[in-house]
Amino acid sequence: MRLTSGNVADSIADNTTFSITRRDLSSISPDLFFEKYQKMGIPVIITGLKVDDWNLDYLCEKLGQQEFLFRYYGQERYQQDKRTWQNIGSGVPLKTMSFNEYAKLLYSHEAHEKDIYLAKCSLKNIKLVDNNSLTSIGEQIGLTKAIGNLNLWVAPGGHLECLHYDTLDGTLIQMHGAKKVLLFPPSQTYNLYPFSVFVHLLRGLELRAWFSTVYPENPDFVAFPKLKRALEHKQEIVLEPGEMLYIPMGWWHEVTALGNDMVCSVNQFWGVYPTSRAIFSWCRWRVIFSNMLAIPYLLVKFAIAFLSQRRQQQIKQIFYRF
């Protein structure tokens, strides 16, 4: 078997007539999920989940006084060429505040103006719901090896989480409001112009080789001529409350919170099965290589944080970026 930019799913997903299907939870058994989706790494939307509405009042009631690290993306970045960005994803500036303070910024729309996001917030020590009931939705369809905890994502409507891929399978459950998700198969990696793995030497994990430098909805075909080919394979879905999107390892995804209000989801990562899908994925190997290149930068950052007056806070921020 050769190393591919993704997996055997490429041949199916590269067919331009392929489109992501919706299946009701009650109609999908672990065997069917494995044969049709997991084995080859094909995305699918599972509908008909019985989940509560996590609106802003509910989140304030459950999380109000607790403090979290919020990502300050700022709106200016989206006017810039991504190749000039100095940070991305969890590498952007961070600020600690309570959920109640964030809710105020959502009500006043300051969160929209400054594009402030509560992203990938581990629900490990947070009593929001019986977290097992959300993990069990994945288990019901045959995903067995949850990696890490459930994560909460709370965004102002309009927020865009830039095009990237993950090295684990993921499930994204919509809890309030809707999200538009653009997806591209792993085979399109180089037509999507990812950041070079060598950015990690100079920027540690503040930039990431698993993020794309293109704007798929505002394409610049002069700077990125191969993007035309990638766009032939674009899938676009809208994830509604009570739906779960299965995003296999290596699939590029860009996620936009729709509407003007708060939008909330929960995600979970899963071990890739069958293991051969992970072993023979070039997308995954380039992330492993990138992480190795980030080590010298991270060691210097740790040393600086250790010597600083705000040692605890700075070390917390370094760990947040992993």
Ligand X SMILES: O=C(O)CCC(=O)C(=O)O
- The footprint of ligand X (CB under 6 A) covers 153, 161, 166, 170, 172, 179, 247, 253, 255, 265, 267
Does a cis peptide bond (omega within 30 degrees of 0) precede residue 225?
no
**Nearer to ligand X by C-beta: 115 or 301?**
115
User: What is the nearest approach in angstroms of ligand X to the Cβ of residue 282?
Assistant: 19
**In this complex, which beta carbon is closest to ligand X, that of residue 23 or of residue 253?**
253
Q: Burial, 251: exposed, middle or buried (Cβ in 10 Å; 0-12, 13-18, 19+)?
A: buried
Contact 131, 123 (CB under 8 A): yes
Q: Could you tell me the smallest distance in angstroms from the CB atom of residue 250 to ligand X?
A: 12
Structure tokens given for 37: 């989706």
Amino acid at site 141: I
Return the number of the residue (63 or 119) whose C-beta is nearest ligand X. Answer: 119
CB 119, min distance to ligand X, A: 7
Shortest separation between residue 13's beta carbon and ligand X, angstroms: 17
Nearer to ligand X, 87 or 265 (CB): 265
- Find, among 139, 173, 182, the residue nearest to 271 by Cα: 139
Question: Radius of gyration (Cα) for the chain, nearest Å?
Answer: 19
Name the residue with the smallest CB distance to ligand X.
161
- Kindly report the number of other CB atoms within 10 A of residue 250's CB atom: 31
Q: Which is nearer to ligand X, 115 or 166 (CB)?
A: 166
Smallest gap from Cβ 148 to ligand X, in A, equals: 12
